[in-house]
């Protein structure tokens, strides 16, 4: 289809070039990103082509196709680009522009509405945030401040399949004598997902309130088991305000506790385990070694690496609102990743992310895989006498 001159909104592309300081205009269409883009495997989405359309200001074409909504925000494009362009920033920006122009993805509507009403994307009442720890003795930091605040994240809070992970975080840290608490029904969505699907205004509102919450909680450390939340707090909040407590993923903290001898792993876990790098923990927050160090410290555990790890790891397919919009594509990507895990001979696939957990679990079910899904923290819990 010929590109007509009137289709090219040069003001639009000029504005993008001004705002996106990361070499947006310098993309020379080499396709390095696209050859390795996970979304491109399961859809017609082409990062390179999208960059070209954006450079040409083909606004309406971009807004009227579903392409931009396929990105899982894994950041592989940014890591691979030989010219240090950051296509991911461009995509996030284009999504925001699309929403502004009234072209939001309808499949995200419920999620957005739920957020505006309940501060979580899963249409759950606030009080349901306490469900998972009903039988555990967990401090509510609003009443009784704690040194460590566990920021649970919406996905793990409301999906009972993930409660093994959240409970493990509490049990393991308590065993190590850590003073830990949660925000309970006052916890709000971090805003990472809405930021990813083109709603910077809703994100900013949540960010402000969250920053206030954690800064006023009196906690020294905010602990995460969801790297999506961690990345949002650590990297995306910078533009909104200053988060005072130290931000850590649970695996980082546990690594420290093991190394300084506070946490003793004394039970054998006779399992063959492989580890899947969550994109938001690895590529975004550059945490690659902590989960591996923790796994290697578990007695009896046999650790197997997959072929594609760390920066080269393949995305599970869940991030960036892609799972909500296109669940089948997400599961297909999860199946691809599971195949790579199976090749190692491992019986357990482990990760350190709520989204990866959910999506890989769906993949296991669909694929009828023999693999068992476990969070790293669950394996740590198995290695200690509770």
Partner 1 sequence: MIGVFICFCGNNIGGYVHVPELTEYFNKKEGVIAFDTMFLCSEIGQNLIKEKIEELNLDSVVIASCSPKHHGGIFQACIGEKMNQFKWEFANIREQCAWVTPNKEEATEKAKAIINGAIEKAKLLTDIGTTKVSVTKDVLIIGGGIAGMHASLELSDKGFHVNMVEKKETIGGNMVRFDRIFPTDDCAMCTGSPLLADVAMNPLIDIFSLSEVTEVKGRAGEYIATVVKKPRYVDETKCTACGECTTHCPVEVWSEWDLEMGLRAAIYKPMAQAVPLKNRIERDSCIRCGTCENVCKAGAIMYDDEPREFKLTVGAIVVATGYDLVDLSNTEYHLEHPNVITGLQLERLKVPSGPTEGEILRPSDGKKPKHLLFVQCAGSRDRRHNVYCSKICCMYATKNARLIKAENPEMDITLCYIDMRTAGRGYEEFFDTAREMGIKYLRGNVSEIVPDGEDLIVRVEDTFANEPKAIKADLVVLSTGLIPSQGTRDMGTIIHLVSGADNFLAPVHVKIAPVDTANKGIYIAGTSESPKPIQECITDAGMVASRIATFLKDPEIEIELVTSKINPEVCIKCGTCADNCVYDAIETTGEFYKVLDVSCQSCGKCSVTCPTGAIDLSLYTEDQITRQIDGILASDRDSIIAFSCYQCGYNAADLAGTAKAKISPKIKVIRVPCSGRVTMQHMLYPFYKGAKGVFLAACLEGQCHYIDGNLQAKEKVALAKKSLDIMGVGGHKLNLFNMSSAEGPKFVAAAKRMVEICQ
Which is nearer to partner 1, 17 or 297 (by Cβ)? 17
Which is nearer to partner 1, 86 or 104 (by Cβ)? 86
List the x/- string, 80-109, binding to partner 1 by CB under 8 A: x-xxx-------------------------
**Which of 3, 18, 29, 136 is close enough to bind partner 1 by CB under 8 A?**
29
Q: Check residue 21 for interaction with partner 1 (CB under 8 A).
A: no
Determine the straight-line distance between the first and last CA of the chain, rounded to whole angstroms: 65
Q: DSSP character for 3?
A: P
| Assigned token pair, 357 | 């957990």
Give the burial string for 74-84 (b: 16+ CB within 10 Å, else e): bbbbbbbbeee
Scanning 27-35, 196-204, 277-285, 368-376 for contacts with partner 1 by CB under 8 A, the matching segment is 27-35
Which is nearer to partner 1, 72 or 217 (by Cβ)? 72
- DSSP class per residue in 275-311: E---TIIIIIT---HHHHHHHHTSTTPEEE--SS-GG
User: Smallest distance, Å, CB 227 to partner 1?
Assistant: 23
Q: What totals of helices (H) and strands (E) does the chain contain, helices first?
A: 19, 9
Q: Check residue 30 for interaction with partner 1 (CB under 8 A).
A: yes
The rounded distance, in Å, linking the Cα atoms of 123 and 159 is: 12
Scanning 5-13, 38-46, 228-236, 256-264 for contacts with partner 1 by CB under 8 A, the matching segment is 38-46
| Assigned token pair, 155 | 């996905």
Scanning 29-37, 179-187, 195-203, 366-374 for contacts with partner 1 by CB under 8 A, the matching segment is 29-37
The rounded distance, in Å, linking the Cα atoms of 243 and 224 is: 14
How many residues at the interface with partner 1, by CB under 8 A? 22
Nearest residue to 118 via CA among 166, 182, 189: 189
User: Which strand ranges, in their side-by-side order, compose the sheet holding 148-151?
Assistant: 139-140, 180-182, 148-151, 221-224, 246-249
List the x/- string, 293-332, binding to partner 1 by CB under 8 A: --------------xx---x--------------------
Interface positions, 42-81, toward partner 1 (CB under 8 A): 46, 48-49, 80
User: Smallest distance, Å, CB 78 to partner 1?
Assistant: 12
Q: Which residues bind partner 1 (CB under 8 A)?
A: 28-37, 40-41, 46, 48-49, 80, 82-84, 307-308, 312
């Amino acid at each position: 289809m010929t590109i007509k001159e009137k289709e090219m909104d040069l003001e639009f592309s000029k504005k993008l070039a001004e705002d996106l300081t990361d070499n947006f205009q310098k993309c020379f269409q080499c396709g390095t990103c696209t050859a390795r883009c996970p979304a491109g495997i399961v859809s017609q989405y082409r990062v390179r082509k999208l960059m070209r359309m954006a450079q040409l200001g083909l606004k309406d074409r971009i807004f009227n196709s579903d392409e931009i909504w396929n990105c899982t925000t894994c950041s592989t494009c940014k890591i691979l680009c030989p010219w240090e362009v950051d296509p991911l920033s461009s995509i996030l920006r284009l999504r925001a522009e699309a929403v502004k122009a009234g072209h939001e993805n309808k499949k995200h509507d419920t999620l957005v509405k739920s957020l505006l009403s309940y501060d979580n994307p899963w249409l759950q009442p606030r009080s349901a945030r306490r469900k998972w720890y009903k039988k555990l003795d967990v401090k509510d930091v609003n009443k009784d401040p704690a040194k460590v605040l566990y920021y649970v994240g919406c996905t793990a809070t409301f999906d009972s399949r993930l409660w093994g992970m959240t409970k493990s975080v509490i049990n393991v840290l308590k065993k190590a004598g850590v003073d830990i608490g949660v925000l309970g029904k006052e916890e709000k969505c971090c805003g990472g997902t809405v930021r990813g699907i083109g709603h910077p205004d809703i994100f900013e509102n949540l960010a402000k309130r969250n920053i206030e919450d954690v800064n006023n909680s009196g906690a020294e450390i905010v602990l995460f088991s969801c790297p999506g939340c961690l990345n949002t707090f650590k990297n995306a909040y910078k533009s909104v305000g200053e988060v005072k407590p130290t931000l850590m993923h649970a695996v980082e903290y546990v690594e420290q506790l093991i190394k300084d001898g506070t946490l003793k792993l004394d039970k054998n876990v006779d399992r063959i385990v492989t580890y899947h790098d969550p994109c938001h923990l690895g590529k975004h927050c550059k945490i690659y070694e902590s989960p591996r160090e923790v796994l290697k410290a578990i007695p009896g555990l046999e650790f197997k690496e997959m072929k594609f790890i760390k920066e080269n790891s393949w995305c599970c397919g869940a991030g960036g609102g892609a799972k909500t919009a296109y669940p089948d594509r997400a599961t297909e990507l999860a199946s691809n990743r599971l195949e790579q895990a199976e090749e190692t001979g491992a019986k357990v696939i482990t990760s350190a992310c709520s989204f990866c957990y959910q999506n890989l679990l769906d993949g296991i079910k669909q694929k009828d895989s023999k693999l068992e899904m476990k969070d790293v923290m669950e394996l740590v819990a198995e290695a200690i006498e509770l």
